Structure 1
C-alpha cells in the first residue's frame, strides 16, 4: 500500500479526512501510512490557525437531522461520529428551539439577538444536534492521529510548493509509492471574522439528565451553522468533486481533487467550522479512493 499524503487548505478538514481514511481502510490494509500537510496561513488569511482567531474561534452548533444523507452510510454513521468526537468537549442535543427574547435585558442601542433553547443529553441515536468547538475537536483529532503511529504531519508555508514538499518526503522513503490527495482551492481565501461573529446566537441550555458532567463551561454564545447557512444563502448540499490523476516522478501519483460546486462563503469560511461539511468531503473522498483502488491493481491486490 502506498503512502497517502493529504493536502487540503483547511486543517480542520485534513484531520477529519485522515481519521476517516484510517477508519475505512485500516482493517483491510494494516500497512496503511498517512502524511497530513498542515497549511500555514498568510497574514490576515483564513483558517483556524490564524493567530487573530485561534483563541476566539466560536463554539459551533450543527443539526444531525437536516444534514445531507451520505452515500457511505455504513461508514459515516452515528458510531463513527461518536468516535470522531470522543473526548473533544462535544455537547449532544435532544432539542433545539428558537425562542424570541423577552423585554428583559433589551438594549435599544443594540440589535435583538437570536436565542436558541437547547436540551442536553448523553450521546444517543436520537440526538438532533451537536455543539462543539473547532479548536478542541482539532486538538483531539491530531492527538489521536499522532498516537496511532500511522500518521505524520508536515507544515507547508504559503510561499512553498506542494511538489517540492513531496520531493523532500520521497527522499525519506526510498522506493515508496506515493498517492497525493491534493484538494485544489482558491489561493486568495480570506477569513471574515465579522461575518462569523455577526451570526452568533445566545444559548439557553436545559438538561433532563443530572448525570451529564462537563469539565468545561457550557458556552453562552454559539455559531448555529444551519442559521448561518440560511442567512448567507449557502447551498445545503455537499459539494461534488471530480479528480484528475497525474503521474509524477519517483512512483508518485498526484490526485488533484477539484470542487465542481464552488461557493465562496461555504468553501472559504464555513469549511473551517462545519463538521458535517468535512464529513461530506470524506464521503466524496471515499468514493474517489475506491475508484482509484480499483484502477490500480497493486492497490486491489492489497485489499
Structure 2
C-alpha cells in the first residue's frame, strides 16, 4: 500500500469518527406519547411532530407563524403587561415568562400572507404563562380584530391557553366579553374568521373567541374544553370517557369542523381562503 492510499484511508477514518462524535453530541427529545427518542433536527424538519405516532409537540408563536405565513409584520409588539393589581410575585412570573418565551405577552399579532393572500393573524404561545389571557392579551387580540375589520381582511387565530390569568382578576375575565364584542362587529361586515385550536385550548379562551370561528379547525389530540375533566366528574358524579375533551371527541360532538395535521395546516387554510373568495 502506497503513501497516498494510506493517507486516503486515514482521512476516511477521520471523517467517520467525526461524524460519530457529532451524532453522539446530537440532542434528542423523547416523544411524550410513544417515548421514541427524536433528534431536534428531525423534529424541526418534521414541524415538531413525532414521525412515529404523529404526536404534535407544542410550538412557539414565532415558529408557528413561520410555518404558516410567507411574510409577516407584527403589530403592537411593545405592549407589555404591568402588575397594576400589585399581585404578589406577579412581576417575577412575568419576567420569567418573557425570558422563557422571548415574547412580551402570550400572543403575537400581525398581518401576514399565505400564498399571496393577506390575512390578519394572531398566535398564542403556551410558553408564556400557559398562554393565559390577561388584559394585554385581550387588548392585542381585540386590536387585531378591529384592524381586520377596518382593512376587510380574513382573520386567523391560533389558540393555545390555560384560561384567564388569575393575577389580573376581573381585568382578565372582561377580555372574554371584549374580544367577543369585537368579533360580532367583524362578523357584521361579512368577513371570514378561522379559529385553530391547539394544545391546550381551555378556560376563558375556549369560552370566548376560540369557539366563535366561522370555521373551527384543530390539531390532532389537542385538549379542548372549559373546566378540567376531574372538576366535571366531581360535579356530575359520573366517570367521563378517556378521550373526553380531546379534539377527536369534540369533533364527534360537532363543535369542530375539521382536524388538520400540522404539515397540512398551511394548505388547508389557503384552500379555505380561496373557497371564500379571498383576493390575491
- The alignment's TM-score, normalised by the length of structure 2, stands at 0.29
Q: With a CA cutoff of 8 Å and minimum separation of 6, indicate the structure with the bigger relative contact order.
A: 1
From the two aligned structures, give the one with the greater helix fraction.
Answer: 2
From the two aligned structures, give the one with the greater strand fraction.
Answer: 1
* Structure number, greater radius of gyration: 2
